[in-house]
Each structure stands twice: as C-alpha cells, then as structure tokens.
Structure 1
Amino acid sequence: MHQDHVSLATGQRSLGDPAIAYPLRPPLTRGCPRTSTGRIAYPVEVDYAYDRVPAGLFDQPPGPDIARWAPLLPPLSAPTLGEGGTPLLEACGVLVKDESRNPTWSHKDRLNRVTVSAALAEGAPGVVVASSGNHGASAAAYAARAGLPAIVLASAGSPPAVQSFVRAYGAAVFSVPAERRWPLMTEIVDRLGYHPVSNQTVTHTGHPYGPEGYKTIAYELFVQLGRAPAAVFAPTGYAELLYGVWKGFTELRRLGVAGTAPRMFSCEPAAGGPHARAVASGAPAAIVEVGPTDAYGIACPAGGHRGVRAVTDSGGGTVLVTDEELRAAQRDLGREGLWQELSGAAGLAGYRKLGAVFDGPVVCVGTSSGFKDVGVGSADIAVATTFDEVAANLPAGS
C-alpha cells in the first residue's frame, strides 16, 4: 500500500469522557468500560495523528474503494468490494446521496469493510451479526470476500428475499426472537471467539470502528459539492451513520479543508425514536418501545450516545416520520428513478416534515435499495393481451 494510504489511527477514545484513551487494539466492542454503567453504555471512537494527514488527500475525486481515505480510517486489511464513490443526485428538490449503489446495495458496506478488517487483524475465526436486513447481507458479503465464515442472527419477520440475499454469501442464517438476538450474539462471541459487528450493550455502542467507514460519505460530499452542505438528513436507527458523517465533517474542519460543517438531522420512525426521546429529555441515550412500522431497518428500541452527540454538537435536530410520510417520499423518489427502501427514504421524509430553509445545499442520504422492503415481489401486475387492456391500466397522467 502506498505510504500516503497507511492508516494514521493511534488509539480509541471514550465518548463518555474524552480524557480516557485506550490502545487502538483490540476494538472495544462493548463500549468504554470506565464510563459505562448498567443503564447507559458510552461508545469509544478512533483517534488519529491528524498532524500527519498527507496534503492533497481531499484533492482526489471520490470513487469505489474507501481505501483512498485510508490515512483517516482504521487499518484496512479486508479486500474491497468496491464500496463508496456513490452518486450525489438532484431529486425531489434536494440532493440525494444514493447509497443503494454500493456493492450490496446499502450504506452498510462502508462500515463492514472496516469491521471485517478488524476481525482479520484480531485473528477471529469468523464474524457474527444480529441483523434482519442490510447489515447482515453486507457483513456476510465482506466476510466471504475476506475468507471468513459469518453467522447472521435474523428475525423471523425479515423479508424472505433478504434472507436469500444473505444466504447467497454462504452465511449461516438463524431466525432468532428479537429479545434474544443480542444476548445470543454475545454468547457466540464469548464461546466461539467470533468478531461481533453488532451491538452488545444496554444502549447502543456497536463496533467502535464502524462509524469510521461512514466518515467517507462526508469526504465524498465535500469533494462532490466543493464545500460542506448546510444540512444533512439521515435515516437513523442506531445513529452510526449519522455520527460517522458528522465526525467526517468535523475532521475536514479540523484539518482546515472545510470552513463549515453541516447541521445533522436524525430521521426516525414515529413508531419509536430513541434519539428524539434522548435529545428532548437531555439524556445521553434512551430506550423506547417501538410500535408497528414497515420501516424495519430503522425501527430500533435502543438508541445510543453517538446520535445525541451528532445532533446536539452540530446544532441540528430530530424528526419523527410516519409510515405514510415515508411512503410518500419513497414514491416520489421512485418517480425520479431512485428506488429506496422505505427506511432509506427517511431522510427526504424528515426534510419535508421539518420544512426549514437552509442557507446552502441540503443532502438527504438514501441508504438502501427498495428491493429489501417488506412485501417486495408479492404484488400482482395487470395482465394485458390487447391495447384496450393496456390503456385501462395506465397510471394517472400517462
């Protein structure tokens, strides 16, 4: 690897207390042990030798393979599948960062390039993930590419098409009740030594290296726009994406590359919304009950401190969106050629619901292909053998 593409990661730092630092390895996948309690778990994040970042790193165009940003990522030992370099498109009156163009059709590929690299570095015999959708498919794909077995703990209600997608990569897929997925994953980690790429704590910490992969979205947006956007609206489940993008922009500002950073907006299902609850109450994180929603990809009962930090530190906010608002955003994106999963349309739905005016470009992150939605492939299509039957079934306005 070229010397400019060697990781400058130096260690891990607690989000509960930035004065507390740890070595870079092993990744603290159960959060900061010194600040976490039985009610709140604080994540750690990766720190870097920022004074050694090579000049001109952000002069290069974005493209597939996030290794182009390697100095500001943990060491990348897992092979690429061509993640990153996704387009920024004008649609529905905003700019949409279309993460469905990644190798497994979601933003999770950026995270899993980094976390599977960590599994290889730790000599783990495999990876384990608790996921019913994008994360499971992506982890399975990157593990397969790296020659590692993967265990995916899914829910019985996950779409059959997504289950088939995960199995295509050779993963061992198990249907597990939601309340048992995290405890069972922890047992697999402790007894088999598999590397966890999902959460194991009471509130969300997840993998400490994961959000580092999402920073590359911020780098790409800066290069694509020639500046930082005024605001970013992101679909939010556990907020790793939201925080990663925010951290990327703070690094650009710290390095003197960008003069500003965007306001970050968490867009969650109205049926739950742990980050909205935490921000509203001033809590570091929150746990909520989740009601019925088809946005299963971001319907999370446990929030994490990362999302709270991204929103409050950036001067942004939280937006709760209903399934009806999500469907309207999804439908309108589809009419402009972008098929997003219902969860993936939350950024646009949140922007519309907030109704704010910003002094600069607004980016809505579209996280995943609509292929992964509940019920995909089950709808009937009109049958036609004559022109009159075709004419009778044309969409309104055709």
Structure 2
Amino acid sequence: MTASRALLQRSLGDPSLTYPLWPPLTRGCPGSGDDRLVYPLEVDYDYDAVGKELFEQEPGTDLARWAPLLPPLDAPTLGEGGTPLLELGDVFVKDESRNPTWSHKDRLNRVTVSAAVATGAPGVVVASSGNHGASAAAFAARAGLHAVVLASAGSPPAVQTFVRAYGGKVLTVPVERRWSLLREIVDNLGYHPVSNQTRTHTGHPFGPEGYKTIAYELFLQLGRRVPAAVFAPVGYGEMFFGIWKGFTELRRLGLAGETPKMFACEPAGAGPTSVALHAGLDATIIEVGESAAYAIATEVGGYRAVRTVRDSGGDAVPLTDDEMFAAQADLARAGLWQEVSGAAGLAGYRKLGREFDGPVVCVATSSGFKDLGVGQAPVTVLENATWRDAL
C-alpha cells in the first residue's frame, strides 16, 4: 500500500490553528467551550508529494487505492467504494447502496475504525439509529474490535438486528441520552468514538476524508470531468463536505479547473443547514418536525454543510416527505431501491428545477431495506392463483 501523505489536523473555523495528526481530536478544537460553537477539524496533506498518476487508475473497490490522500488505513477493507454511476434521464445517480453494508457510511468507517486500530482502542462506540451503527459494527468486526451502538427507541428493529449480526452491542436509550452516554463510554472504557460528541456537530475529523473518494470516483466515471452540480442528502453534512473537499483537492492537484455547486437536500421539517444559511449562522440547533427520512432528520446542525454550500455557490433545498417519496418511487422503477433519505438528492434536483451547464449528479445513499416498517406489511396468500393473476 502506498503511504499516506496526511500531515496534521486543521481547524475548519480558523485554518491557522493546526494540531498533530495523532490523536484524532474527536471533540473539536481544544479550548472551545460548550457556550459557543465548537468547530470541527479536517486533515491536511503533503499535496506536493501526491503524483497525478494516482488518478490514472480505475475507480474500483477498497479505499486503499487512494491511500496518499487519506489518513493511514490500519483497518482491513470490506470492499467499500467503487460504487456505480448510473444515468437516469437528465441526471446521473451515484448509488452508494452498493457498499458492503448498503450505505455510504462504509467509506467513513473504513477510515474511522482505522483510527481506532491505530490508537490501540479496544472498541468503537457510535450513536446511530441506522446506517452508521451497522457500518461501524461491520468494520469493527473485520478489525477484531468490539462495537457499541447507542440507538434511539425509534430506530428500525431490522437495523438493530443488522448491528447484532456483526457482534455489536446495541443499547437502546432515549435520544437525549445518546451523546452523553457515548462520552462516558469513551472516558471510562477507552472506546474510540466514530460519531459526534459535541453540541453542534463536529464528528470525527478523519470521517469526511473517506467521503472524498466519492468525488475522485465521479471525476473518473465522468471521463475526467467535474459535474456542474451535486445534489446530496444532508443530515450532519459529513459526506456533503467530504465530496466537496475531494473536488477542491482535484483542482489543487491541477487535475480539474473547476468545482461543482453543492446542494444540501434535507427534510423541510428538519433542516438545520437551511436555517443556519438563512440566518447567517455557522451552525444551529432546531426543533425537528416529523419526517419519514429519519436518517437525515436531525435537530443538530454542523459547520461542514454550511461552509460547503457557501464555498461552492450552492444552496440548501428543503423537501417534503411527498417529494422524497416520489423520487424514491422513480428510482425504484429504474431498478434502484433507496430508503427515503437516500432519495433526497434526486428529490432536491427536481424541486430546484434549474438547468446546469454540465452533468448533474444526485448521490443516493442507502438501500430501501433500511426504511421504517420494511417487511412488516401482511402477506396475502392466493389459494387458487392462475396465470391471469400475473396480468
């Protein structure tokens, strides 16, 4: 494996503030108090040491193919990445449900579980009601680590079964207890946190680095072109920011002359990115309304998503459940079954109704198997079925 060229951690709030690469600063920048915004960090690299030949390869599975532009990958691969880009009418759909645990979270967890291995942690802990928990449990199992997933009572039972299948321990607790309990497990058991620990979202500084590889793949899959626009489901905004960072790196390396406009697609009743942008804030916390898109319905906003919209010249697109259901149905009719949240990118593109001078990519994040209520509908048995019933 080619060596990582990662150098250090840098504050996204104040780029002049830098810190050693190890240990990952999972609670934001040191010295930030709970009474003000805690900014996340990103990883900086020795870009001059990264050869352009890195982007002459095929965009296949295993993130190790991008090792120079990722933190050290000490956890084994599960074959993450290399997901297909499919043409759907006037847009392209990047189908992240083809990852090992059927969601985009596998890109993040290959990197964050690697950090757990590198720091000698006995296990990982994550607060998640869906994709993140299943993915973390799978990569932890592959690396020989324990995994604890703190789920809310409203999480789908099938997803909790998914986590337990990998040997992960699920603790179902009230939503408001998840993050404080996560911090207690980190402090008392030494488990490595692969999800957020702060009031506004900072997450793991290495996590979005795994998502950059979506941009690398898109660049190659589009014939070494950058899309004019990217529409993606947004909750905390880690994937959204990671994709944007990947494109800025392609420009920095002299491989691309432009970057796409980035559009954050979120539930209308749970859109902290939209609220923060319209209020001129870096991040915010809101009251959440009901939404079937539970995977991206969050009260806690994050600076990464807000900054990505501002820097790219994009926007946030609030969506009703009906708009996401319609996009989900259209994807399914094209052979792509996504959970409601996973269809938000396509729903956002259609709602915005803009034309772009170049290809448009909608990121679809997760399999429809992850939705609430899947598999619970009663089955009707036809006692005297005939061929006419097939019409």
Which one of the candidate residues 134, 150, 170 is aligned to 2:131? 134
Query: Secondary structure of 1:308's match?
Result: helix
Q: Is the 8 A contact 1:242 1:310 kept in 2?
A: yes
How far has the Cα of 1:167 moved from its partner? Answer: 0.4
For 1:330-349, what aligned pairs fall within 5 Å after superposition? 330-349=328-347
Partner of 2:215: 218
How far has the Cα of 1:90 moved from its partner? Answer: 1.1
1:112 aligns with 2:100: no
How far has the Cα of 1:383 moved from its partner? Answer: 3.4
Alignment deviations for residues 365-388 of structure 1 (CA, whole Å, 9 cap, x no partner): 000000000000012344333337
How far apart are the structure 1 equivalents of 2:34 and 2:183? 18
How far apart are the structure 1 equivalents of 2:378 and 2:265? 32
Q: Is the 8 A contact 1:230 1:361 kept in 2?
A: yes
Unpaired runs of 5+ residues, structure 1, are: none
How far apart are the structure 1 equivalents of 2:250 and 2:45? 13
How far apart are the structure 2 equivalents of 1:35 and 1:190? 19
Which one of the candidate residues 158, 161, 164 is aligned to 2:161? 164
How far has the Cα of 1:54 moved from its partner? Answer: 1.9
Query: Secondary structure of 2:52's match?
Result: coil
Q: Is the 8 A contact 2:52 2:255 kept in 1?
A: no
For 1:248-267, what aligned pairs fall within 5 Å after superposition? 248-267=246-265
State the AA in 1 paired with 2:344.
Answer: A
Which one of the candidate residues 357, 360, 363 is aligned to 2:361? 363
Task: Call closer, same or farther: CA 1:366–1:282 in 2, change over 3 Å.
Answer: same
State the AA in 1 paired with 2:288.
Answer: V
1:80 aligns with 2:74: no
How far apart are the structure 2 equivalents of 1:276 and 1:36? 25
Partner of 2:267: 269
How far has the Cα of 1:389 moved from its partner? Answer: 6.4
Task: Call closer, same or farther: CA 1:190–1:363 in 2, change over 3 Å.
Answer: same
Partner of 2:385: 386
**TM-score computed with the length of structure 1 as normaliser:** 0.96
Alignment deviations for residues 343-368 of structure 1 (CA, whole Å, 9 cap, x no partner): 00000011111111100000000000
1:230 aligns with 2:255: no
Partner of 2:324: 326
How far has the Cα of 1:251 moved from its partner? Answer: 0.2
1:101 aligns with 2:66: no
Q: Once superposed, what is the RMSD of the aligned Cα atoms?
A: 1.1
Q: Is the 8 A contact 1:92 1:333 kept in 2?
A: no
Task: Call closer, same or farther: CA 1:352–1:120 in 2, change over 3 Å.
Answer: same
How far apart are the structure 2 equivalents of 1:65 and 1:36? 38
> How many residues are paired up?
389
How far apart are the structure 2 equivalents of 1:88 and 1:107? 14
How far has the Cα of 1:55 moved from its partner? Answer: 3.0
How far apart are the structure 2 equivalents of 1:246 and 1:151? 30
How far has the Cα of 1:133 moved from its partner? Answer: 0.4
State the AA in 2 paired with 1:61.
Answer: E
Q: Is the 8 A contact 1:36 1:42 kept in 2?
A: no
How far apart are the structure 1 equivalents of 2:210 and 2:387? 52
Unpaired runs of 5+ residues, structure 2, are: none
Deviating more after overlay: 212-221 vs 83-92:
83-92
How far apart are the structure 1 equivalents of 2:163 and 2:250? 35
How far apart are the structure 1 equivalents of 2:288 and 2:317? 16
Task: Call closer, same or farther: CA 1:82–1:388 in 2, change over 3 Å.
Answer: closer
Query: Secondary structure of 1:275's match?
Result: helix
State the AA in 2 paired with 1:239.
Answer: G
How far apart are the structure 1 equivalents of 2:34 and 2:129? 28
Alignment deviations for residues 1-59 of structure 1 (CA, whole Å, 9 cap, x no partner): 2xxx2100000000110001000000000011245652311001000000000231101
- Percent sequence identity is 72
How far apart are the structure 2 equivalents of 1:272 and 1:167? 29
Q: Is the 8 A contact 1:129 1:152 kept in 2?
A: yes
State the AA in 2 paired with 1:295.
Answer: A
Query: Secondary structure of 2:202's match?
Result: coil
How far apart are the structure 1 equivalents of 2:72 and 2:262? 27
Partner of 2:314: 316
Q: Is the 8 A contact 1:110 1:213 kept in 2?
A: yes
Alignment deviations for residues 237-269 of structure 1 (CA, whole Å, 9 cap, x no partner): 100000000000000000001111100000001
